Every structure is written in C-alpha cells, then in structure tokens.
A = this chain, B = another copy of it.
C-alpha cells in the first residue's frame, strides 16, 4: 500500500506502469484518475485544493486499509495533489491490483467514493469573475451507503 499527498504533479502513466509491471499474482489492475475539468462556460482559470496536513494522510490510509480488509487485493496506490492546478491537470489517482477484476473494480470505486466525501480536501474554482468553493453533492454522500449494506 502506498499513499502520497503532494503538491507536485505526478506522471500517471509512469505510476500506472510501475504499479502494474510484472505482477504475476494479480490478473487485474484498475486505475482511476481525476482531472481538473473546465467549467461549462470554459472560463476556469485554476483550481485551488486545500487540505488538512496530517489528517489527510491518516484518513486516506484508513480508507485504503478498509479496502484491503474488504477485498482480496494485492496492492493499493493513492496519490492526491493539493495546491494550484489548471484545467486538464491531474488531481489524483488510485490504483488497485487483484487476482480478479470484480475485486479490483469494487475496491477502486470504494476508494473513490470515500476519498470524495471523507478525505479532508476542499476544492475552489477560480475564474476571472471570482472564486467559488466546490459544493459537495448529495449523490456523493449517497454513494457511500452502498458500501454499508
């Protein structure tokens, strides 16, 4: 398990290759990558991501441990950036490796649902006309309920 919280950019492809390379024990690798999406009007100047140093790492590690307890995983990787990002920049990635695809997919979705609403990050969208904190969506909170059944 590897968790990294950083302001620096990361190389998604290089990370994905390093994670998947030569795995004879896991037939399935799933990755998710979050990218800064432009606004509907196409005027997003930048996204600022604030986080809670100390708690962030602990929260992500706890989520990753839960995923490992729940599914037969061979490995988990989470990278999440903070600071100033531009449209098209990669915000974060998760990767899961498992013998079977069902576990790799379920664990990656679980990680994303929890990171979305339970890891202490806050996004602010900045345009020439002002800045706005991204609001949490009810459907993101609702997505968590499927894991407690």
Contacts and interface: CB of A to CB of B under 8 A. Distances in A.
Interface of A: 11-18, 20-38, 87-88, 90, 99, 101-102, 104-105, 108-109, 112, 143
A37 B25 contact: yes
B109 A105 contact: yes
Contacts of A34: 27-28, 101
B99 A37 contact: yes
A134 to B, nearest CB: 11
A60 to B, nearest CB: 17
Contacts of A30: 30-33, 108
Nearest to A89: B22
A20 B37 CA distance: 12
Contacts of A31: 16, 29-31, 33
A107 to B, nearest CB: 12
A27 B37 contact: yes
A32 to B, nearest CB: 5
A109 B32 CA distance: 13
Given A13-B14, A25-B38, A32 B104 contact: yes
Contacts of A109: 105
